[in-house]
Amino acid sequence: MKRLLSPSMMCADFRNLEREVRALEKAGSDLFHIDVMDGVYTPNLTLGLQDIKAIRSLTSLPLDAHLMMVNPGDKIDWFIKAGCDIIYIHPKADAFPTKTLLKIKEAGVHPGIAINPEESVESVREMLPLCDDLLIMSVHPGFAGQKFLDFVEPKIKELVKLKSTYGYTIFLDGNCTPAVIEKYANIGVDGFVLGTSALFRDGLSYQEALAGLR
């Protein structure tokens, strides 16, 4: 089965955004991952609506928005209208996460949840039937370049086993090196968010990097 490779656009060169999007698309990206941080839920600010709209105007590939913000349900219409195809929320950051997931789905967009390293399967189990996609965090959300947290492996394996029951797609996000991608693709993870560990590195073209990961 083909594994999905999703460049993390917070690592791209925004001085040359059109060139970056075209090059990543030509190199074989399957979708684009867009991190949206509000400076409250995470101690960082990253991409926003104008960035999403700009990327949307440059590509027909799917866009997935990872909303690292408090009360995402209050703002979910922004991201639906901006053209996102997948929207992830952090359930604990939303007063009514199931309501938000249903609203995303009713809009014809794929709803998903992001699961932090310290969060268990049991803490999100009731929401799994509402999700088309899961984003398993192998680092703490907020910054690129963090160390992969090995203790998430049992959770990954458990959620892979539950795929046949709930029918979601699993993406792994956080220090996805080539070795991590090989290991967890074999375990059953469907897709990987690519940042500075595997794609946005000096001395390696996007074409070479993605071909090597394939």
Q: Which of 38, 64, 173, 190 is catalytic?
A: 173
Return the structure tokens found at 158: 């458990």
The C-alpha angle with vertex 198 and arms to 20 and 142, in degrees rounded to 5, equals 80
CA gyration radius for the chain? 16
Return the structure tokens found at 198: 């595997």
Which residue shows structure tokens 């960035």?
A: 51
**How far is CA 168 from each of CA 33, 161, 203, rounded to the nearest angstrom?**
17, 11, 36
Active site residue 64: no
One-character DSSP codes across 102-113: HHHHHTTSEEEE
Active site residue 35: yes
Q: How far apart are CA 164 and CA 21, in angstroms?
A: 34
| Greatest Cα-to-Cα distance within the chain, rounded to the nearest angstrom | 45
Q: Which of 30, 35, 74, 190 is catalytic?
A: 35
Question: Which amino acid does the sequence have at 33?
Answer: H
Q: How far apart are CA 72 and CA 70, in angstroms?
A: 6
Kindly list the catalytic residues.
Answer: 35, 173
